Amino acid sequence: MNFTITRHFDAPRDLVFEAWTQKEHLDQWSAPKGFTIPFSEGDLRPGGSWRSMMVAPDGEEHRLGGVYQEIVSGERLSFTHAWEEEHGRGPESLVQVHLFDEDGDTRMEFSQGPFQTPVSRDGHQGGWSECFDRLDAYLADLKFRQVVLTRTLPVAPQVVFDAWIDQAQLAEWWGPHGFTNPVCEIDVKVGGVIHIDMASPDGTVYPMSGVYREIDPPHKLVFLNSPLDDSGKPIFELVTTVIVEPAAGGSTLTVRARLEGEVTDASAPFLSGMQEGWRQSLERLEAFLSH
């Protein structure tokens, strides 16, 4: 006997898939209400194993684990699931997660089974329902703290990558529509400094500084970037990851910008506009590369 759960999340499918597959996210939601996850590990590949320990509000420890069966990025995930009890490993079941895009949101179809008794089935179903309540709340916070955008571009990966690391090209497209970059200075090396002054159509200048963390041309670029206040101090810090992959007829570009630290009164106004700001920047990049 099996059970299924369908949930809708106000978050893009790629972000929901990340929440299922990255430890930093899983540790925040993949246990029932009131439980914590002090330990987890996993080898995310078909045949790779995973293990986790949940601690109940009364301090009782519950260990579990399994093996990944199928992983289709952004779409499907399946893995075996069994409790690791004092007298040995418990019965094994199969968890299947299917994700569907619905106009930028996500429908999740979840199933697990088989179970030997209705009590076991209902207990797992109730536990997962509480997990998904936590996931819903976590995604809402994560969506505010993180932007993930993907574009298909009609040029080779090296051309896309160059637009990010060539100072003159970067100044042409960085920022929302109507913005210019009177100052754009970059030192493209690990530890190299980035400084960009964006000027809005009304003349207001928004300075940004950062540091390159990882450079792997033409595939990956990671940098820290921070908007600066009137005294030149960082208001908050983002980790921005740029991934460029070959695709039919060109390249696929994925940009992920994630807040480091907590949301504050100073950072909240910037974060609320981050999704739209990056969307317009990538529209400008696409137009620049299409010329």
Long-range contacts of 201-209 (CB under 8 A, 24+ apart): 207/183, 207/232, 209/234
The residue among 61, 42, 60, 43 whose CA lies nearest residue 51 is 42
Per-residue pLDDT tens digits for 102-142: 988 999 999 999 999 999 999 999 999 999 999 999 998 77
Per-residue pLDDT tens digits for 56-102: 999 999 999 999 999 999 999 999 999 997 767 889 999 999 999 99
Which pLDDT value is given to residue 60?
Answer: 93
Q: Could you give the 3-state DSSP secondary structure of residue 195?
A: strand
- Please report which confidence band the pLDDT of residue 272 belongs to, taking 50, 70 and 90 as the band edges: confident
Rounded to an integer, what distance in angstroms lies between the CA atom of residue 13 and that of residue 271? 20
Rounded to an integer, what distance in angstroms lies between the CA atom of residue 89 and that of residue 83? 6
Query: 108: alpha, beta or left, given left = phi > 0 and alpha = psi -120 to 50?
Result: beta
- Does residue 114 have a cis bond before it (omega within 30 degrees)? yes
Flag whether pLDDT at 220 surpasses 90.
yes
Helix (H) or strand (E) holding 250: strand 250-260
Per-residue pLDDT tens digits for 185-210: 999 999 999 999 999 999 999 999 99
| CATH topology for the 154-290 domain | Alpha-D-Glucose-1,6-Bisphosphate; Chain A, domain 4 (3.30.530)
- Please report which confidence band the pLDDT of residue 269 belongs to, taking 50, 70 and 90 as the band edges: confident
The mean pLDDT of 174-184, rounded to a whole number, is: 97
The label of the residue with tokens 């916070």 reads: 141
Mean pLDDT of all residues belonging to the chain: 93
Which pLDDT value is given to residue 90?
Answer: 85
The mean pLDDT of 12-36, rounded to a whole number, is: 93
Helix (H) or strand (E) holding 17: helix 13-21
Burial of 19 (0-12, 13-18, 19+ CB in 10 A): buried
Output the CA torsion 137→143→144→147 (10° steps): 170
Which pLDDT value is given to residue 263?
Answer: 65
CATH 3.30.530.20 fits 3-145, yes or no: yes
- Please report which confidence band the pLDDT of residue 260 belongs to, taking 50, 70 and 90 as the band edges: confident
Which pLDDT value is given to residue 163?
Answer: 98
Q: Could you give the 3-state DSSP secondary structure of residue 2?
A: coil
| Amino acid occupying residue 283 | E
> Do residues 84 and 78 lie in contact, with contact meaning Cβ atoms separated by under 8 Å?
no
> Do residues 196 and 207 lie in contact, with contact meaning Cβ atoms separated by under 8 Å?
yes
Residues of the chain with CATH 3.30.530.20: 3-145, 154-290
